[in-house]
Amino acid sequence: MKKVIWIVVVLVVAGYFINSYTQKRTKEKADRVEAERIEKNIRSFVSAMVSKSNAVDNWEEKLSKGERYRYDPILTIELEKLWLVDQPILFIGSINDIATHDESHYLMCVERNLLGNLDYLFDTELQLSLISKKEQIDIFLNKYPDLFKEYGFNNGVAIIAKINAIRTTYIPGEEGERKDVKIGYGELIDILYAGDVTF
């Protein structure tokens, strides 16, 4: 009789673990499918933004000179040829700061982050400083209240911006060397939450 009880106990415990494992695998698969669906939608929305605004979306490829990682500094004149054009540009990054510019506008600083485009990496840091309508940004921030959490790993934004000027500033690097930061000044046209999607 004891032997039968032990067999039943072992079967119940084994069944529990098998069921838990199956449920976990099913949930992981469903989460993965949902993440892929969200990523596909974000890419589709960004493509629609680019088409609607006729934005330049290949400036990183041109700036890279065919290399995945560009070690040499980016000259302002190179960016001028790519950013100071009749069309706006697509810029993937994360919001660094937002400040009041005037009664109806913010000044928004966006920096290019590593997760934005892993195909093209630059030693020179690139940022945008954009005049943005308060209403547009307030709606966006209300829709994504956790945008500045998670240490910057899930806060990507796709920006369409018209750039009017480019300036260079310098910050100290990790070893005390001077590091270039190229900043494009202009106006925000459109913004889309991209999360951790890479382009």
Question: Which CATH number fits the domain that encloses residue 114?
Answer: 2.40.50
Tokens of 112: 């290019």
Q: Count how many domains the chain has.
A: 1
pLDDT digits (tens, 9 = 90+) for 86-145: 999 999 999 999 999 999 999 999 999 766 666 788 889 999 999 999 999 999 999 998
How many C-beta neighbours within 10 Å does residue 6 have? 10
Q: Do the domain assignments include residue 132?
A: yes
Q: Any bridge partners for residue 98, and if so which?
A: 108
Residue 17, in any domain of the structure: no
**74 with 133: CB under 8 angstroms?**
no
Residue 83 included in any domain: yes
Residue 109: per-residue pLDDT: 96
- In this structure, is residue 37 part of a structural domain? no
Does residue 174 sit within a domain? yes
88 contact partners, CB below 8 Å, separation of at least 6: 53, 54, 55, 56, 160, 161, 162, 163, 189
Query: 67-83 pLDDT, tens per residue?
Result: 888 888 899 999 999 99
Q: How far apart are the C-alpha atoms of 155 and 194, rounded to whole Å?
A: 7
Residue 30 lies in a domain: no
**Which pLDDT score is estimated for 21?**
64
> Is 189 part of any domain?
yes
pTM of the predicted model, to two decimals?
Answer: 0.82
Domain extent for 146: 56-195
Q: Is residue 138 part of a domain?
A: yes
